């Protein structure tokens, strides 16, 4: 039994680890041992707390004191003041947790207040490398219930009744997918987990695996029982070393405790699982390409039908879900279908995890009920746009999604609403843009990613997306024509209808959505040879205003001597020489240099 009077929770997610959080943990242990306090105060390595902007994070319970951006040298003060004398170190606390003399617990901070954590419930709470801590939070209880009290058909029915839909992109009903696999004929069946998230800025699945790996093991065992599979594979990209390591530790622990392997809970049910590493190909997020890669083949999509539920891994019936989808399953089994269906909207049940990034105060990972509006996520949870800038758009769904303008900021987030707006849920990436973002450049960025990641198997995706990118490059460089806008739309329609897999079919979405909502920006690039946001270098010139004091800092910073003027006199930019690097803007203390 743990009788510690305090728990020091140190973030062990990738972001914090890269900022020396493990050295911070070591320093806590060292100082507590020196003060003979190591038996009464427990230091715990956890998964990601979510608020990456504040990392490295240390949270001390029972107070819930939220220390942010901690350095190794800060640990001495926290130990001597907080843990020895009982006085929180205010200047090291997260700024949002301090209001005058009132210090909020981490759960009362704005970023967390509107969240409802289901899939992330154990992240930042338990040590992911200790199976006993997972068990203490009802871990493997759902598996025990399923194996001893429920038939496979009953398990599938509760997943269907819950309304759980796939969190990996398309939103297909998970219960139906399980049912199709269960009914498929085959002497061998498999379950698989897609942990190959490749969207720029997305790290939802990685954080779950780093912070709560046992939940995936338990959920996959439940799925295996439901569909009649005795083997599971987790396909995870090799660029996630911490997640891979913790998942392997969890698998080994589960085997040792008899929770994987033969005759689990003495019920005669056999189930085991293995990790398969991916090489980071975005196309392997598509289920048939992922299956090819698991088999050791090149990660390229297969024509469908047949679907994986009938012919998947080694042509055997296979049920495939992503990490976040599986992470919901144990809680649905324990709390019931009605509980889960009571969260969210009529057609989009439960919660959704988002990786919030871009022009936003609080970057990080969050989980909110379906139906929460974009405005609530961006302003209430995300803290709004930095530097007083205006919100312009939000990109959801990664390279397969679209850009939603400020006019639709009150839209409730669910599968159908996002599709209606020309975007999609995707795996949960959410990139916020402000007034300084050029929407032509945003579309070009995502399409460039898709071109790079196309497997090249089908002509529409391989050639069509490259041609679209060439057109966007021309528009960004001032070489575009009005006819190019029509060509973009025609190419987009062809690629969407003729591509083999979801990557190609959705690749034009960023272009189509920006053309629809921000056509005026495209027309300005084409007709006026001007970038309204001042972002496209080829269409931007720098000018010095009358606010110039003649300090010469900009002149000294210019690498090509394109700024003329004497000290204490107004300076001038030679637009012919200027290479538009922006060094002058960064150096000017009077904000006297503007882009037009």
Specify the pLDDT at position 3: 67
Q: What burial class does residue 450 get, using C-beta atoms within 10 Å of its C-beta: 0-12 exposed, 13-18 middle, 19+ buried?
A: buried
The string of DSSP codes covering 352-365 is EEEEEEES-SS-EE
Q: What's the rounded Cα separation, in Å, for the pair 253 and 205?
A: 21
Same domain, 579 and 448: no
Q: What's the rounded Cα separation, in Å, for the pair 543 and 594?
A: 5
Same domain, 91 and 31: yes
Q: Which of 109, 142, 161 is the last residue of a domain?
A: 109
Between strands 98-99 and 65-67, the pairing is unpaired
pLDDT tens digits for range 442-472 = 999 999 999 998 888 899 999 999 999 999 9
Same domain, 26 and 156: no
Same domain, 298 and 180: yes
101: in domain: yes
Mean pLDDT of the chain: 94
Specify the pLDDT at position 503: 84
Same domain, 462 and 377: no
Q: What's the rounded Cα separation, in Å, for the pair 430 and 208?
A: 17
Q: Which two tokens stand for residue 509?
A: 């979405």
Length of the chain equals 596
* Rounded-to-10 torsion of CA 508, 514, 517, 519: -110
Specify the pLDDT at position 281: 86
* Rounded-to-10 torsion of CA 88, 52, 234, 266: 20
Main-chain dihedrals φ then ψ at residue 9, nearest 5 degrees: -95, 120
Same domain, 302 and 421: no
Contacts of 472 (CB under 8 A, 6+ apart): 440, 443, 444, 447, 488, 511
Domain count, the chain: 5
Give, as one character, the DSSP assignment of residue 187.
S
Q: What's the rounded Cα separation, in Å, for the pair 203 and 145?
A: 31
Q: What burial class does residue 380 get, using C-beta atoms within 10 Å of its C-beta: 0-12 exposed, 13-18 middle, 19+ buried?
A: middle
Q: What's the rounded Cα separation, in Å, for the pair 49 and 16?
A: 10
Q: What's the rounded Cα separation, in Å, for the pair 208 and 122?
A: 9
118: in domain: no
Cα–Cα nearest to 178, from 216, 228, 140, 215: 228
346: in domain: no
536: in domain: no
98: in domain: yes
Q: Which two tokens stand for residue 470?
A: 């060439």
Same domain, 268 and 177: yes
Cα–Cα nearest to 488, from 474, 502, 501: 474
Q: What's the rounded Cα separation, in Å, for the pair 148 and 445?
A: 52
121: in domain: no
Q: Which two tokens stand for residue 118?
A: 């289901």
Q: What is the extent of the structural domain holding 474?
A: 439-528
Same domain, 335 and 358: no
Main-chain dihedrals φ then ψ at residue 39, nearest 5 degrees: -85, -25
Q: What's the rounded Cα separation, in Å, for the pair 374 and 408?
A: 8
Sites in the chain below the pLDDT cut of 50: none
Contacts of 10 (CB under 8 A, 6+ apart): 16, 21, 22, 24, 25, 28, 43, 44, 45, 46, 56, 57, 58
492: in domain: yes
Q: Are the beta carbons of 587 and 570 closer than 8 angstroms?
A: no
pLDDT tens digits for range 53-85 = 899 999 999 999 999 999 999 999 999 999 999
Going from the C-alpha of 511 to that of each of 339, 439, 580, the distances in angstroms are 39, 9, 26
Q: Are the beta carbons of 365 and 353 closer than 8 angstroms?
A: yes
Q: Which two tokens stand for residue 451?
A: 């071109």
Q: What's the rounded Cα separation, in Å, for the pair 284 and 273?
A: 20
Is the dihedral angle over the CA atoms 348, 352, 355, 360 positive or is it negative?
Answer: positive
- Mapped onto helix, strand or coil, the DSSP state of residue 98 is strand
SS3 percent helix, strand, coil of the chain, rounded to 5, is: 45, 15, 40
Q: Which of 341, 367, 395 is the last residue of a domain?
A: 341
CATH of the domain at 423: 3.10.20.600
114: in domain: no
Same domain, 250 and 361: no
Count other C-beta atoms under 10 Å from residue 113's C-beta. Answer: 11
Q: What's the rounded Cα separation, in Å, for the pair 394 and 376?
A: 13
| Helices 509-517 and 482-498, packing angle to 10 deg | 140
Same domain, 199 and 300: yes
Residue position matching structure tokens 């966007």: 472
Specify the pLDDT at position 2: 63
Q: Which of 434, 468, 503 is the last residue of a domain?
A: 434
Same domain, 201 and 292: yes
Range list of β-strands (E), 114-228 = 190-195
Residue position matching structure tokens 């913790």: 246
Same domain, 315 and 360: no
CATH of the domain at 190: 3.40.50.11540
């Amino acid at each position: 039994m743990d009788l510690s009077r305090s728990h020091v929770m140190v973030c062990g997610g990738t972001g914090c680890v890269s900022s020396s959080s493990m050295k911070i943990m070591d320093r806590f242990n060292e100082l507590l041992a020196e003060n003979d306090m190591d038996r009464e105060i427990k230091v715990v390595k956890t998964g990601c707390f979510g608020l990456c902007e504040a990392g490295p994070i240390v949270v001390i319970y029972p107070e819930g004191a939220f220390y942010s951006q901690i350095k190794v040298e800060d640990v001495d003060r926290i130990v001597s003041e907080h843990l020895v004398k009982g006085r929180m170190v205010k200047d090291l606390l997260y700024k949002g947790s301090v209001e005058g003399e009132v210090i909020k617990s981490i759960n009362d901070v704005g970023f967390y207040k509107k969240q409802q954590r289901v899939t992330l419930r154990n992240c930042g709470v338990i040590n992911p490398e200790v199976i006993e801590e997972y068990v203490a939070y009802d871990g493997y209880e759902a598996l025990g219930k399923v194996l001893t009290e429920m038939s496979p058909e009953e398990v599938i029915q509760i997943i269907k009744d819950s309304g759980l839909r796939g969190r990996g992109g398309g939103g297909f009903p998970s219960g139906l997918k399980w049912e199709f696999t269960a009914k498929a004929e085959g002497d061998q069946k498999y379950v698989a987990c897609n942990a190959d998230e490749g969207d720029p800025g997305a790290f939802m699945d990685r954080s779950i695996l780093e912070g709560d790996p046992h939940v995936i093991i338990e959920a996959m065992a439940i799925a295996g029982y439901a569909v009649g599979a005795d083997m599971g594979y987790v396909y995870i990209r090799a660029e996630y070393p911490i997640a891979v390591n913790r998942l392997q530790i969890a698998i080994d622990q589960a085997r040792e405790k008899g929770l994987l392997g033969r005759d689990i809970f003495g019920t005669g049910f056999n189930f085991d699982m293995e990790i398969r590493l991916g090489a980071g190909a975005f196309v392997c997020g598509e289920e048939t390409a992922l299956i090819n890669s698991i088999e050791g083949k090149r990660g390229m999509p297969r024509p469908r039908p047949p679907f994986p539920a009938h012919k998947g891994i080694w042509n055997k019936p296979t049920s495939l879900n992503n990490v976040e989808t599986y992470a919901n399953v144990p809680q649905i089994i324990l709390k019931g279908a009605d509980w889960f269906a009571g969260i969210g909207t009529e057609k989009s049940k439960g919660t959704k995890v988002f990786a919030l990034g871009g022009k936003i105060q609080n970057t990080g990972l969050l989980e909110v009920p379906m139906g929460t509006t974009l405005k609530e996520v961006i302003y209430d949870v995300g803290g709004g746009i930095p530097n007083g800038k205006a919100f312009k758009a939000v990109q959801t769904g990664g390279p397969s999604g679209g850009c939603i303008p400020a006019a639709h900021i009150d839209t409730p987030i669910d599968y159908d609403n996002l599709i209606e707006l020309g975007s999609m849920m995707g795996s949960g990436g959410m990139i916020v843009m402000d007034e300084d973002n050029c929407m032509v450049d945003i579309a070009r960025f995502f399409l460039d990613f898709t071109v790079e990641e196309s497997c090249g198997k089908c002509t529409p995706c391989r050639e069509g997306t490259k041609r679209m990118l060439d057109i966007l490059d021309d528009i960004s460089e001032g070489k575009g024509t009005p006819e190019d806008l029509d060509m973009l739309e025609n190419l987009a329609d062809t690629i969407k209808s003729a591509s083999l897999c979801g990557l190609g079919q959705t690749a034009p979405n960023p272009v189509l959505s920006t053309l629809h909502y921000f056509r005026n920006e495209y027309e300005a690039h084409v007709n006026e040879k001007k970038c309204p946001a001042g972002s496209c270098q080829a269409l931007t010139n720098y000018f010095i205003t009358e606010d110039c004091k003649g300090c010469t800092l900009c002149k000294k910073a210019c690498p090509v001597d394109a700024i003329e003027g004497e000290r204490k006199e107004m300076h001038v930019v030679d637009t012919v020489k200027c290479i538009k690097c922006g060094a002058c803007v960064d150096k000017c203390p009077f904000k006297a240099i503007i882009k037009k």
